[in-house]
Chain A
Amino acid sequence: EDQVTQSPEALRLQEGESSSLNCSYTVSGLRGLFWYRQDPGKGPEFLFTLYSAGEEKEKERLKATLTKKESFLHITAPKPEDSATYLCAINFGNEKLTFGTGTRLTIIP
């Protein structure tokens, strides 16, 4: 069965302390990998789509990368407003997305 695993479950960083979140998957035909951000009490908000190994995308302090088995969401010099849950989702070759359980990120001022 195709699966998506995110780690760590929770991460606390000091403001300005860079780190990375991980999304790994068992694959039988990856068609696309999506990163979403979710704030408390809100729906997930789209960040990035990656299609092939080696691809990278950036947005402000966030950079997403993709290999054949995993994706990383790198956060550089984070600010308190970057605190949120970050969700990874995989399209395994149909019209559906399979979501991971997310990483809850807290940035301490």
Chain B
Amino acid sequence: DAGVIQSPRHEVTEMGQEVTLRCKPISGHDYLFWYRQTMMRGLELLIYFNNNVPIDDSGMPEDRFSAKMPNASFSTLKIQPSEPRDSAVYFCASSFMAGVGDEQFFGPGTRLTVL
């Protein structure tokens, strides 16, 4: 398996533009997690899905952020409109189970810069 795949790897955009980040989880994994990593706040969970259903979106910073998982092999994280404070590295991770007993496998991340 190729592991978790994320695209694009780098995104530079201007404030106010819409940004869409994409993730393909490892085949057979039932859980998908979206994280954001910054120097100030470290790695923060934004939202996670189980069997394509959003379970907990309490980490989504505000209504400008939305996430979907239309099928077991694809998920998107959208920011509309984007702001400079959204600049960060966004990671997608997947796991067979969740919580105790099963590790999460992370993708390479998307480095987002909002000018």
Distance in angstroms between the alpha carbons of A51 and B12 in the assembled complex = 41
A-side binding surface: helix, strand, loop or mixed?
loop
- Contacts between the two chains (Cβ within 8 Å), count: 53
- List the A residue with the shortest CB-CB distance to B42: A101
Complex contact B43–A99 (CB within 8 A): yes
Please count how many residues in chain B sit with their CB below 8 Å of the partner chain's CB atoms: 23
Distance in angstroms between the alpha carbons of A102 and B39 in the assembled complex = 10
B109 proximity list for chain A (CB < 8 A): 41-43
Complex contact B103–A94 (CB within 8 A): no
A8 CB to nearest B CB, Å: 15
A: residues with CB less than 8 A from B are 31-32, 34, 41-46, 49, 51, 87, 91, 93-102
27 contacts between A and B (CB under 8 A): A31-B99, A31-B100, A32-B101, A41-B108, A42-B108, A43-B4, A43-B91, A43-B107, A43-B108, A44-B43, A44-B106, A45-B106, A46-B103, A46-B104, A49-B101, A49-B103, A91-B100, A95-B50, A95-B56, A95-B98, A96-B45, A96-B56, A96-B98, A97-B104, A99-B42, A99-B43, A99-B44
